[in-house]
Structure 1
Amino acid sequence: PVETFSWGSPPLVVGDIVVIGSAMMDVTNPNVPAMKEMPPGDVRGFDVRTGEQVWIFRTIPREGEPGNETWLTAITEDRASWEYSGNTNMWAWPSADEELGYVYLPISTPTNDYYGGYRPGDNLFAESIVCLDAKTGRRVWHFQAVHHGIWDYDFPAAPNVIDLQVEGRDEPVKALAAVSKQAFTYVFDRVTGEPIWPIEERPVPPGDVPGEWYAPTQPFPTQPPPFDQQGTTVDDLIDFTPELRAAALEVFNQHVTGPLFTAPSLVDASPGGNRGTLQMPGVVGGADWGGSAVDPETGILYVPSVHSESVIGIVPSEHPRSDMRLVVETLNLLEGPNELPLFKPPYGRLVAIDLKRGEILWSVANGDGPRDHPLLEDLDLPPLGQPGRVSPLVTKSLVFLGEGGNSGVVVLQPIWGGAGGKMFRAYDKLTGEVIWEKELPGGTTAAPMTYMVEGRQYIVVTVGWEDMPSEYVALALP
């Protein structure tokens, strides 16, 4: 149906080809119930002059195509899951190397995000980076970051294209760096798809949801290290005061917890029953729509990260139009005690990663966060970080970053003060020190831009707030 179809990002022109993805609705809402049968989010290439379609890349391969064997037949069905499964969109923006003629696609989660019992198998090319020849649509290489995704850990942003002199290698590498919701940075040779550092397949714990299919292993990059918390333990709970820690522990114990890739769990509505699985990072990251920025001279990547958990609970479907047995409960992001987060800060951060060495250089809180909360304001806390969907801008000496808008981003963190903020900052690229900051009329809602006019440099940002229209703000030195 037409209400399931949209685009999540603008097209990309590579040579004579316009590349555009799809964003088939992959969440549950009153108008579009959870369905096992959905259209696929295929990627298409069009002639830039005639508008004619030149190629189509099927994100869910058909019979006889590579990857089709990763879509098995569910025990409840009489046909293979590739025949009716959908989504597997490219709603994020791709990137490209025009010299090579390659385009790099960040592919998303298949139907229906959190319950995959109707689509057993690893489900290529879901949650993968796929490299295509832009002229023909031919697949050159691919890497799947999540096998049989049930966490909504799709790639949220365009991968970064950069040439690197990697430590220990004689020749420069044409590299591709992709940041992820699960706080990994995957770094590849963008010509061949070979990882710059090893990526290991490690065992992950299976779940116990009836009918679900579980991948026994998931890929873990060995370098760079994760740039945010992965998984949940009691050691991660807030400890601003003993009373707050005790309250956080009470909430924590109502959920299934564990390492990264702990599976969604069945909700038990009885007193003292399981409320679902605590997923960290949550469905908005880690990295999110804003992606990352990279300095081509130093090889340092700068990624904003949201420190926010999700509660993923599976319940019987009650929607009269749904044909699924089990669906995710209304997606919740957990509120800790007294409107505070459950886990330790920072709740929004900026991280610098040296891609030449595969090391984290520094990580700093971006914004104050809830430190003005009545239970915290007398504790003399450092900045706790403001969660927000933000994009960085890197210049010769600085990194610029806002705090994000507050309209439509309540899923980030139901905490004191809410998500987003109106501050805009310039950070020292080498140390993470705040060099300058200014309060704007609203929160930043897109990546900052910079340009020169008559020898004067300007920074332009779009800002907005739930009670104001969006507008542009231009900044410059006197």
Structure 2
Amino acid sequence: MLIDLYNIIRIEESLMRVPNQLFGLMLGSVLSQVVFADDWATYGNGLGNQRFSSLKEVNRANVDKLQLAWKFDSGIKASFQTSPIKVGDRLYISTPFNHVIALDAGTGEQVWRYEHPKPKKKSCCGPANRGVAVAKGKVFQATIDGQLIALDQTTGELVWQNKVEDIQLSVQESVDGLLQGMDLGGDAKITGGTSHSFNMAPQVYKDMVIVGSTGAGYGLHLDTEKGLRVVGIGDGRTGLRGFLSAFDMNTGKELWRWYSVDGEHWVGDWQETTASGLTLNRDIATEKAASQRFQHSWKLGGGSIWTTPAIDDETGWLFAGTGNPAPNMDSSTRPGDNLNTSSIVAIDSKNGELKWAFQQVPHDRWGYDVSSPPVLFDTVVAGKTVKAVGQAGKTGWFYVLNRETGELLFKSDPFVPQVNLFADPTEEGVTIAPGIAGGSNWSPVSVNPDKQQVYIAGIHMPATYYRKPLKLNSELPWQTYSYFEFDEKQRYGTLTAIDLKSGQVSWQNKTRLPLLGGTLATAGDLVFSGEGDGEFFAVDTTTGEKLWSYKQSYGVNAPPVSYSHNGRQYIAVAAGGNKIAGYPTGDSLLVFSLPRATK
């Protein structure tokens, strides 16, 4: 159970005035295990990833008076997804391309700046980074070029650096020699493909820094005359094994590594349905016939780790989501269930041992990564309190599992429309929703434990799913290719409150654009989120009514945080858009507070 030590023991104001860095070092050994009301010291404001602030100076009665307190421009205009960390008197943020900046939490004045060397190879999935971790006098960041770095919390100087993985390992998807055999448009330009990268904010626990690899089954992303297309080619060559790794925070030494794809169990039980009984439209006979030929497909099996895991401090287990199998979408060269991709997994933090796995989508052909961070909470089932882990799926349901056993307790009402879910692609095309963007994407949810509600940033962006023959004579292992084509005209977003005991929707707001970035819940009975057109807003947790908004030029596509400094509550969010989604990119950190006289 997370403890708000600030409220319980009422740390005296004099202690809070201990010099910045000494205070940070004093707290370093415990910040990963407790929540201080004044700070936001971990990615999810506690190991459970609830993203809930117990501060309530800003509340539904006065939020309409919220105003911009200060703004910081990083100078790097690209997809800006950082979740600020606040410890003592400072904020710590990461930028696209992995620069790290320390700011005065009250004024936004830059204290120090670390500039990471420019990567020699283009990242699979763009330049975005989702944040840093701070503990024991160090600031940790995983980089898009495969490094884990530790910086001095006081000065920003590099303490140590360790190569987590060589990003040159992969064979990226290519259309060379094949474009004339594909009906993809003559101007197709590759904007992304499978390769190792690291985007997630690290999780710190005890003496460990935990990070995961992304891009292991990213797939071929093309910019065409008809917009973005995500292409699946079952070539049997492309793909990587995603993994979680733990490192000693003092030395950078790797302690353990868990691969999301296990060769011995890759095939699984040939599931024809999901755990809740929905058909997956699989041709099991054809898959089994191909299983001997592709028995080693697990070696390139995908299963990225996109976002920061949650940790149960009582058991030491961490809970993570895994990405889709590789090759993305086209499954002709990977027969079987493709365990443990598109799953929620429980891992023992002591040794990296898998405790259980719950596969949301066996043999995933739709890019339904489990990408939104898992969140821990207690719920009530049949009159009994159960320790649970929840996750907002790309499928459009919020899944609630028993975190001790992995048993599915229930899944929520859908929080986005579902059309032709798990449909097989056709040559003429079949429109499905959610499409490959989700449901909910990497956006973290927030939980108000007092109200027993979870708040989800949702995406409605239908996509037409095609499978077409390759118009070339070839001895390649595949003769077809698959792709998604998005319907830009029908897209919108949803902000949804779901009851954690029943799974029912408490309220839902439709937003102009698909929501990408996440939510913040506060004890002031507020939920904060942002739109891709630049609006940042707050709604009432009880009714969903919009109570306040602020509009500027860049997409608000990052998770908000809240902290207190010198007795004043602040709300902070990065505004830097998202290039893939078409939201205007920028470089601003926006920080809001009430006027001094307003309470």
User: Fold match, TM over 0.5?
Assistant: yes
Unaligned runs of 5+ in 2: 1-167, 171-194, 224-230, 271-286, 578-582
Aligned to 2:370: 155
The 5-angstrom pairing of residues 44-193 of structure 1 reads: 44-63=245-264, 66-67=265-266, 69=268, 75=290, 78-164=293-379, 166=380, 168-170=382-384, 172-193=385-406
| 1:421 is the counterpart of 2:541 | no
Q: How many residues align?
A: 371
Counterpart residue identity of residue 168, structure 1: A
- Corresponding residue to 2:422 among 252, 261, 270: 261
Aligned to 2:527: 399
Unaligned runs of 5+ in 1: 198-220, 232-258, 268-273, 370-385, 404-419
CA spacing shift, 1:423–1:467, aligned 2, 3 Å: closer
8 Å contact from structure 1 (residues 280, 310) kept in 2 = yes
Report the alpha carbon displacement of residue 357 of structure 1 after superposing the two structures with TM. 2.4
Report the alpha carbon displacement of residue 49 of structure 1 after superposing the two structures with TM. 3.0
| 1:10 is the counterpart of 2:205 | no
Counterpart residue identity of residue 592, structure 2: L
CA spacing shift, 1:359–1:33, aligned 2, 3 Å: closer
Report the alpha carbon displacement of residue 156 of structure 1 after superposing the two structures with TM. 1.6
Report the alpha carbon displacement of residue 22 of structure 1 after superposing the two structures with TM. 1.4
Distance in 1 (alpha carbons) for counterparts of 2:555 and 2:482: 31
CA-to-aligned-CA distance 1:157-196 (integer Å, 9 cap, x gap)? 11111123x15323x2211111111111110121222222
8 Å contact from structure 2 (residues 263, 299) kept in 1 = no
Distance in 1 (alpha carbons) for counterparts of 2:290 and 2:563: 58
Give the TM-score normalised by the residue count of structure 2. 0.58
CA spacing shift, 1:80–1:362, aligned 2, 3 Å: same
Report the alpha carbon displacement of residue 76 of structure 1 after superposing the two structures with TM. 8.1
CA-to-aligned-CA distance 1:256-311 (integer Å, 9 cap, x gap)? xxx3211122x2xxxxxx1x121101111111111311112221000011111111
Distance in 2 (alpha carbons) for counterparts of 1:82 and 1:322: 15
Distance in 2 (alpha carbons) for counterparts of 1:455 and 1:321: 70
CA spacing shift, 1:322–1:431, aligned 2, 3 Å: farther
Higher relative contact order (CA 8 A, sep 6+): 2
Aligned to 1:36: 236
Report the alpha carbon displacement of residue 440 of structure 1 after superposing the two structures with TM. 2.5
Distance in 2 (alpha carbons) for counterparts of 1:332 and 1:454: 51
Aligned partner of residue 10 in structure 1, secondary structure: coil
- Corresponding residue to 1:390 among 508, 517, 529: 517
| 1:299 is the counterpart of 2:452 | yes
8 Å contact from structure 2 (residues 307, 372) kept in 1 = yes
8 Å contact from structure 2 (residues 445, 519) kept in 1 = yes
8 Å contact from structure 1 (residues 294, 300) kept in 2 = yes
Counterpart residue identity of residue 218, structure 2: D
Report the alpha carbon displacement of residue 323 of structure 1 after superposing the two structures with TM. 5.6
Distance in 2 (alpha carbons) for counterparts of 1:350 and 1:321: 48
8 Å contact from structure 2 (residues 533, 555) kept in 1 = yes
8 Å contact from structure 1 (residues 68, 82) kept in 2 = no
Aligned to 1:408: none
CA spacing shift, 1:436–1:29, aligned 2, 3 Å: closer
CA spacing shift, 1:467–1:138, aligned 2, 3 Å: closer
Distance in 2 (alpha carbons) for counterparts of 1:264 and 1:456: 54
Q: Larger deviation: 460-469 or 149-158? A: 460-469
Report the alpha carbon displacement of residue 67 of structure 1 after superposing the two structures with TM. 4.9
- Corresponding residue to 2:486 among 333, 341, 344: 333
Aligned to 1:473: 590
- Corresponding residue to 2:550 among 419, 438, 446: 438
Distance in 2 (alpha carbons) for counterparts of 1:230 and 1:108: 20
Counterpart residue identity of residue 263, structure 1: D
Distance in 1 (alpha carbons) for counterparts of 2:467 and 2:568: 55
- Corresponding residue to 1:227 among 396, 415, 419: 415
Aligned partner of residue 409 in structure 2, secondary structure: coil
Aligned to 1:256: none
CA spacing shift, 1:94–1:438, aligned 2, 3 Å: same
Aligned to 1:361: 506
Distance in 2 (alpha carbons) for counterparts of 1:395 and 1:33: 41
CA-to-aligned-CA distance 1:175-223 (integer Å, 9 cap, x gap)? 11111111111101212222223xxxxxxxxxxxxxxxxxxxxxxx4xx
CA-to-aligned-CA distance 1:426-477 (integer Å, 9 cap, x gap)? 1000100111112123221311111112222111111125766311111111
CA spacing shift, 1:50–1:311, aligned 2, 3 Å: same
Give the CA RMSD over aligned residues: 2.7
CA spacing shift, 1:192–1:46, aligned 2, 3 Å: same
- Corresponding residue to 2:439 among 286, 294, 298: 286
Identity %: 31
* Higher-strand-fraction structure: 2
8 Å contact from structure 2 (residues 266, 298) kept in 1 = no
Distance in 2 (alpha carbons) for counterparts of 1:18 and 1:322: 42
Report the alpha carbon displacement of residue 151 of structure 1 after superposing the two structures with TM. 0.8
8 Å contact from structure 1 (residues 5, 25) kept in 2 = no
Distance in 2 (alpha carbons) for counterparts of 1:158 and 1:451: 21
CA-to-aligned-CA distance 1:217-239 (integer Å, 9 cap, x gap)? xxxx4xx21111111xxxxxxxx
CA spacing shift, 1:323–1:47, aligned 2, 3 Å: farther
Distance in 2 (alpha carbons) for counterparts of 1:459 and 1:322: 54
Q: Larger deviation: 42-51 or 176-185? A: 42-51
8 Å contact from structure 1 (residues 92, 157) kept in 2 = yes
Distance in 2 (alpha carbons) for counterparts of 1:92 and 1:355: 22
Q: Larger deviation: 148-157 or 91-100? A: 91-100
Task: Give every structure 1 segment of 4 or more consecutive aligned residues whose post-TM-superposition deviation is greater than 6 Å.
Answer: 30-33, 318-322
